[in-house]
Amino acid sequence: MTVMDAGTRPIARKGIRRAVRLGWAAGAVFWGAFAALEAVNHGVVAGLFAVAFFIAPDLTFLVAARDAHATRPGRLPARAVPYYNAAHRALVPVVLMVVCVVTPDSWAPLFAGLCGWTAHISLDRALGYGLRTKEGLQRD
């Protein structure tokens, strides 16, 4: 027998979701601080890359800007979903960071940008914004 809360979800599952979101929040703080450290260590260009890459994933909304008026609140237009999901997968910037680390002639501003990108994804997940279904709804 499981104890149920008002939303009919097991309380244990709700606790797990909170813990996962807390982990993502810790990741957002870590990657944001790492991007800031890279900017301090490598100059203005690295800082600009970190900020630009932090903002860039949400620019995928512009793909379907003309469809926004016909879309219900909370739903992303279907045309923008593949771009949004591709820009919000944590594996992409992490793999690129590994490539930067193992490449002998890696460019520090690019690494700072990838840290900013990862911070953005982590912050979105911590706030409850995940990947979207093909219809544009938030996935559980």
pLDDT digits (tens, 9 = 90+) for 102-138: 998 889 999 999 999 999 999 999 999 999 999 998 8
Q: What pLDDT score was predicted for residue 73?
A: 78
Question: Strand, coil or helix: what is 74?
Answer: coil
- Radius of gyration (C-alpha) of the chain in whole angstroms: 18
Kindly state the percentage of the chain with pLDDT values over 70. Answer: 92
**Which of 29-33, 71-75, 81-85 is least confident?**
71-75
Confidence of residue 8 (pLDDT cuts 50, 70, 90): low
Q: What is the pLDDT of residue 6?
A: 54
Tell whether the model's pLDDT for residue 66 goes beyond 90: no
Structural contact between residues 97 and 30, judged by C-beta atoms closer than 8 angstroms: no
Q: Which amino acid is at 118?
A: T
- Give yes or no for a contact between 22 and 87, defined as CB atoms under 8 angstroms apart: no
Q: What is the pLDDT of residue 7?
A: 55
Q: Is the pLDDT of residue 1 over 50?
A: no
Q: Please give the Cα distance from 5 to 3 (Å, whole number).
A: 7
Which residues sit opposite 132 in a β-bridge?
Answer: 138
Q: Report the pLDDT averaged over residues 4-31.
A: 84
For the whole model, what pTM was predicted? 0.86
